[in-house]
C-alpha cells in the first residue's frame, strides 16, 4: 500500500495503543484513518517485548478502574475481534518479604476490593503450601487475584490491526514519521520517510519514543525509555500448569509459565534511561542467581530465549492521555511498564477524547499532560 497524500486522522505507532486507537476510532464510524509504524511489522516495540501480564492489582484507583474496564475487553476479544489471544487466568501472586510492603499491599487490597476487584490476602504458610517448589521462608504474606493472568500481546496487536483494516483503517509498516507539521498552533500533518501526509488530527502512540515524537511538534512529553529484560527456559515438567504469575515484590523478580517452561524477569533499579534494547548480560546473571535462589529447579533448566525492551516511564508512573498544547495533536503513552493490559480501554478512551471532547468510560481527567507542569502528580507503588 502506498502512502496517501492526505488522511483525516494519523496514528503514529503500531503497538497495542496505536492499533487499539485506530480500531476504536473506526468502530465509531471514523473513515480516513492512517496508522504509521516504523518497523517492518506491527507490535515489535514495547508491546512485542512485554511479559503479557494482565492484572487488577494496582495501588491507585485510576489504574484499578482502567483494569476493570480493559480486562473484560480482553475476555471478549476473540468474540469481538475474531482473533484468539489465549487469555490464561493463572492469577498474579505478589510475595511480600517486609512489613512496609505488607502494610501497603493490605491498603491496596482494601482499595481493590472496594472497587470489586476480588483480590485475596494469603498468609506466608498458605503461599508456601501453594508453591512447594520455591524457597519462601522469608515471605510474610501476599496478595492473589485469580482473575489476573496472561494474554498473547501479538494476538492483541494483530487482532486490532486486522479488525481496523476491515473497517477501512490504512495501516502502513516500514514508514517512519520524521517530522510533524504545525501551522499556527494547529497540527497540519506529518513528514515521513515515504513523503508528506496532511491531516487534521495526529495521535502520538509511539510508546517509549513518544517523547521524541512530541518534540517533532515542539511539545514536551516527559516519557523516559528504561530498559527491562527477561529470559525463558526450556520445559520444566515440575512446574504445574496452574502456576501463577509470581512476583517477589522487594526484588522486582517475576516468574510465569511460558510454553512448557518459565519466563523469568527482574528489573534493574540502577538502569539508566536510554534506547538500548540489547540484553545486559551482567544483569541477566544477577537475575538468574536471584531466580535460582527462589526456585532451585532453574539450575537444571535450559535457557531458550532472552529479550530486552523499553518501559515508557513518566515521573508519576501513570500514562498521559489526550490533548497537547498543539491543537489536533494528541498523546497516548507513558504506561510505565504495565500498558499492554490497558491497551483495549485506552483505544476507547482516546476515541472518546477525540470524537466527544472528553473521556467517558473511565475518569482519567487527572492523567492529562498538563499535570506535570502544574505539579498534579499521582504515585503508583505497584510498579514491577
Ligand atoms: C520487558 C517488558 C515487560 C513488560 N511486561 C508487561 C506486562 O506484563 N504487562 C503489561 O501490561 N505491560 C507490560 N509491559 C509494558 C508494555 O509493553 C507497554 O506499556 C505497552 O506495550 C506500550 O504500548 P505502546 O503501543 O504505547 O508502545 P509500543 O508497543 O512500543 O508501540 C510504539 C510503536 O511506535 C513506533 N514508533 C516509534 N517512533 C516512531 C516513528 N517516528 N514513526 C513511526 N513509528 C514509530 C515503534 O516502532 C513502536 O512499534 C512490559 C514492557 C517491557 C519492556
Residues 6+ apart with CB under 8 A from 66: 342, 345, 346, 362, 364
Give percent of the chain with pLDDT exceeding 70. Answer: 98
Per-residue pLDDT averaged across 227-252, rounded? 97
Taking only the tens place, the pLDDT of each residue in 97-145 is 999 999 999 999 999 999 999 999 999 999 999 999 999 999 999 999 9
Query: Long-range contact list for 270-278, CB < 8 A, 24+ apart?
Result: 271/226, 271/227, 271/228, 273/224, 273/225, 273/226, 273/313, 274/225, 274/227, 275/208, 275/209, 275/225, 275/310, 276/227, 276/308, 277/49, 277/227, 277/308, 277/309, 277/310, 278/308
CB 230 within 8 A of CB 306: yes
C-alpha cell at 347: 483505544
Per-residue pLDDT averaged across 335-356, rounded? 98
Interatomic CA distance for residues 14 and 37, integer angstroms: 5
pTM to 2 decimal places = 0.97
Rg (the chain; Cα; Å):
21
> Is the pLDDT higher at 174 or at 382?
174
Q: Is 160 in the pocket of ligand 1 (CB under 6 A)?
A: no
Give pLDDT, residue 114: 97
Taking only the tens place, the pLDDT of each residue in 1-56 is 789 999 999 999 999 999 999 999 999 999 999 999 999 999 999 999 999 999 99
Distance 137 CA to ligand 1 centre (A): 36
Taking only the tens place, the pLDDT of each residue in 138-159 is 999 999 999 999 999 999 999 9
Distance 103 CA to ligand 1 centre (A): 32
Give pLDDT, residue 180: 98
The residue contributing the CA closest to ligand 1 atom 35 is: 13
Q: Mean of the per-residue pLDDT values for the chain? A: 97
Give pLDDT, residue 2: 87
Looking at ligand 1, which atom is closest to the CA of residue 16?
25
CB 308 within 8 A of CB 279: yes
- Angle at which helix 61-75 crosses helix 343-356, to 10 degrees, equals 100
- Substitution site in 21, 36, 49, 51 for ligand 1 pocket (most atoms within 8 Å of beta carbon): 51
Looking at ligand 1, which atom is closest to the CA of residue 177?
42
| Rama region for 309: left / alpha / beta (φ>0; ψ in -120 to 50; rest) | beta
Amino acid at each position: 500500500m502506498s502512502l496517501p497524500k492526505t488522511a483525516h486522522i494519523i496514528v503514529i505507532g503500531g503497538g497495542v495503543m496505536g492499533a487499539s486507537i485506530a480500531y476504536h476510532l473506526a468502530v465509531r464510524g471514523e473513515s480516513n484513518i492512517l496508522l504509521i509504524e516504523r518497523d517492518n511489522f506491527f507490535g515489535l516495540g514495547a508491546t512485542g517485548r512485554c511479559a503479557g501480564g494482565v492484572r487488577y492489582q494496582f495501588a491507585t484507583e485510576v489504574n484499578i478502574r482502567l483494569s476493570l474496564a480493559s480486562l473484560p475487553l480482553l475476555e471478549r476479544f476473540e468474540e469481538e475481534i475474531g482473533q484468539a489471544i489465549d487469555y490464561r487466568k493463572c492469577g498474579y501472586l505478589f510475595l511480600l518479604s517486609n512489613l512496609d510492603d505488607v502494610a501497603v499491599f493490605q491498603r491496596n487490597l482494601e482499595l481493590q476490593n472496594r472497587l470489586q476487584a476480588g483480590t485475596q490476602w494469603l498468609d506466608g504458610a498458605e503461599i508456601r503450601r501453594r508453591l512447594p517448589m520455591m524457597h519462601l521462608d522469608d515471605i510474610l504474606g501476599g496478595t492473589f487475584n485469580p482473575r489476573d493472568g496472561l494474554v498473547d500481546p501479538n494476538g492483541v496487536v494483530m487482532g486490532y490491526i486486522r479488525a481496523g483494516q476491515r473497517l477501512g483503517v490504512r495501516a502502513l509498516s516500514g514508514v517512519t514519521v520524521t517530522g510533524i507539521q504545525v501551522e499556527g498552533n494547529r497540527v497540519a500533518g506529518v513528514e515521513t520517510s515515504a513523503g508528506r501526509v496532511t491531516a487534521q488530527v495526529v495521535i502520538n502512540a509511539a510508546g517509549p519514543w513518544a517523547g521524541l515524537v512530541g518534540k517533532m511538534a515542539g511539545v514536551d512529553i516527559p516519557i523516559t525509555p528504561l530498559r527491562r529484560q527477561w529470559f525463558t527456559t526450556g520445559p520444566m515438567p515440575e512446574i504445574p500448569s496452574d502456576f501463577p504469575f509470581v512476583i517477589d515484590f522487594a526484588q522486582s523478580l517475576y516468574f510465569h509459565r511460558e510454553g512448557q517452561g518459565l519466563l523469568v524477569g527482574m528489573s534493574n533499579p540502577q538502569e539508566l534511561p536510554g534506547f538500548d534494547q540489547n540484553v545486559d548480560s551482567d544483569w541477566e546473571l544477577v537475575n538468574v542467581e536471584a531466580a535460582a535462589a527462589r526456585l532451585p529447579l532453574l539450575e537444571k533448566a535450559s535457557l531458550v530465549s532472552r529479550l530486552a525492551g523499553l518501559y515508557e516511564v513518566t515521573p508519576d508512573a501513570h500514562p498521559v492521555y489526550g490533548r497537547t498544547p498543539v491543537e489536533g495533536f494528541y498523546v497516548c503513552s507513558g504506561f510505565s511498564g504495565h500498558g499492554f493490559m490497558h491497551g483495549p480501554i485506552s483505544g476507547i478512551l482516546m476515541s472518546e477524547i477525540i470524537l466527544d471532547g472528553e473521556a467517558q468510560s473511565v475518569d482519567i481527567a487527572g492523567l492529562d499532560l498538563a499535570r506535570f507542569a502544574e505539579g498534579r502528580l499521582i504515585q503508583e507503588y505497584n510498579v514491577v
